[in-house]
Amino acid sequence: MQLIRPDININFVGARYKALALSTVLILIGVAAYIYRGGLPMGVDFAGGTLIQIQFKQPTTPDAIRSALKDLAGASSIQQIGAASDHEYLIRTELITSELQSLSGSIEERLDDTFGKDEASVRRVEMVGPKVGADLRQKALFAVYYALLLMAIYVSGRFEFKWVKSGIMAGVLVFGVYLLEIAGLDATILILAALVVTLVLCWFLELPYALGALLSLLHDVLIVVGAFALAGKEFTLEVLAAILTIVGFSINDTIIIFDRVRENLRKDKKQDIHALINTSVNQTLSRTILTSGTVFLVTVCLFVFGGTVIHDFAFAMLVGIITGTYSTVFVASLVVIAYYELKGRKKVARRAEA
């Protein structure tokens, strides 16, 4: 059986301006949603607060729960989750109790009083204090940044044999970020600045493959985060784990294409970069679609059957797999082309041979 004909030759390179437009629009929609909502809704892991998952025996409504907990949980959001027949609700409040009387205990008592004993059972409680939340928030940003940076180093080392150059770049960046972090600079600004510096460095140090990989990863992260902003879903630790996995998965695809580029380059060193990359993308297209397909299949299963706790994780993975596959074909390699076009060289740098 074959899904994609071996002699397929789609003009991906020719469609690059359309792709650029599409990516820009998608990212802008995400940014607009982000601004419209006044930022990303953060889960308790990052924002601090309390999350309580409760299962009722009888059907009830969020309003009934809210009125029962009026004076206890303060401003809280109550949301039904899972199948309607499960009568499961998530109560989310910004309150935390660092004292020893736990909020969940009082809430359970109150629900017992209102709905009858054993009618409501607390299935899960997550309380994160503001200190821990702030810690995790900062760690998350650093994790994403370091993951991107490590990928960039790997790619430029592996494909351009510039281990030393990219190593020095990474060393300087890590050290600089570390110093500024000690100086107490806000982590968000710091990481954003570090990203921009990294991209600029990739440009001037002539690391086009790293640049392509970085931009395509950044593209994926932005779109997944944008999707969360659009869907109004909460950003949690699990979602972050999904994003880092997507980063790993998307670069995996990218590397396979770059590998082909390198191989084809060895065969014919005078090839035009446009043709070279277009051939390579087409040659690996079957594999790209197949692998993304199987991972996608499994993720759909997780999304549909996996239960409430990993629902958001699966959602992030789904979005990420789609954009990861798209960015592999359209972003990473086309950035490499754009780099050479802008640098005014039609031939691939001799250093890429090997």
Partner 1 sequence: MKNIKWREVLVVVVLISGFVYLTPTLFPTLPPWWTKFLPKEKIHLGLDLQGGMHLVLEVEADKAVINTADRMVEDIKETLRKEKIPFNKIERAKSWDIQVSLPSPEGGTELNKLMEKFYPILRNAGGETNPEGYLISYTFQDKEVQRVRELAVDQALQTIRNRIDQFGVTEPDIRREREDRIQVQLPGIQDPQRAIDLVGKTALLEFKLVAEGVSPQDSKEGKLPPGVKIYPMKRANSAAGRTSDTQIALKDRTLMTGEYITTAEVRIDTQFNQPYVALEFDATGARTFERLTGENVNKQLAIVLDGTVYSAPNIREKIGGGRASITGSFTMEEARDLAIVLRAGALPAPVKILEQRTVGPGLGKDSIQKGLMASLIGAVLVVAFMLLYYKGSGLIANVALALNMVLLFAGLAAFGATLTLPGIAGIALTIGMAVDANVLIYERIREELRLGKTPRAAVEAGYEKATVTIIDSNLTTLIAAFVLFQFGTGPVKGFAVTLTIGLVANLFTAIIVTRSIFDYLLLQRRIKSLSI
Of residues 209 through 268, those in contact with partner 1 by CB under 8 A are 237-238, 240-241, 244-245, 247-249, 251-253, 255-256, 259, 263
DSSP string computed for 179-208: HHHHTT--HHHHHHHHHHHHHHHHHHTT-H
Nearer of residues 257 and 348 to partner 1, judged by Cβ:
257
Q: Is 307 in the site for partner 1 (CB under 8 A)?
A: yes
Question: DSSP character for 346?
Answer: -
Which is nearer to partner 1, 119 or 238 (by Cβ)? 238
Residue 342: CB minimum distance to partner 1, A: 26
- The CA distances from residue 228 to 37, 109, 234, in Å, are 11, 34, 7
Say whether residue 182 binds partner 1 (CB under 8 A).
Answer: no
Binding segment for partner 1 (CB under 8 A), chosen from 26-34, 96-104, 181-189, 339-347, is 96-104
Q: Is 1 one of the binding residues for partner 1 (CB under 8 A)?
A: yes
Among 247, 173, 244, 246, residue whose Cα is nearest residue 207: 173
Q: Which of residues 106-145 bind partner 1 (CB under 8 A)?
A: 121-129, 131-132, 136, 139-140, 142-143
What CA–CA distance (Å, rounded) separates 186 from 191?
9
Identity of the residue, 6 or 59, whose beta carbon is nearer to partner 1 in the bound complex: 6
Q: Is 179 exposed, middle or buried (0-12, 13-18, 19+ CB in 10 A)?
A: exposed
One residue of 176, 291, 338, 340 binding partner 1 per CB under 8 A: 291
Closest distance of CB 264 from partner 1, Å: 12
Nearest Cα neighbor of 73 from 55, 91, 87 is 91
- The footprint of partner 1 on this chain (CB under 8 A) covers a number of residues equal to 75
Supply the minimum distance, in Å, between the C-beta of residue 24 and partner 1: 26
For partner 1, give the closer residue by CB, 16 or 228.
228
Interface residues for partner 1 in 52-91 (CB under 8 A)? 53, 55
Rounded to a whole number of angstroms, the minimum distance from the CB of residue 33 to partner 1 is 26
Identity of the residue, 102 or 271, whose beta carbon is nearer to partner 1 in the bound complex: 102
| Close Cβ partners of 7 (under 8 Å, ≥ 6 residues apart) | none
For position 310 contacting partner 1 by CB under 8 A, the verdict is yes
CA 31 to each of CA 82, 83, 194, 264, 318: distance values in angstroms, whole numbers, following the listed order: 29, 31, 20, 38, 20
Half-sphere exposure of 122 (CA within 13 A, CB side): 18
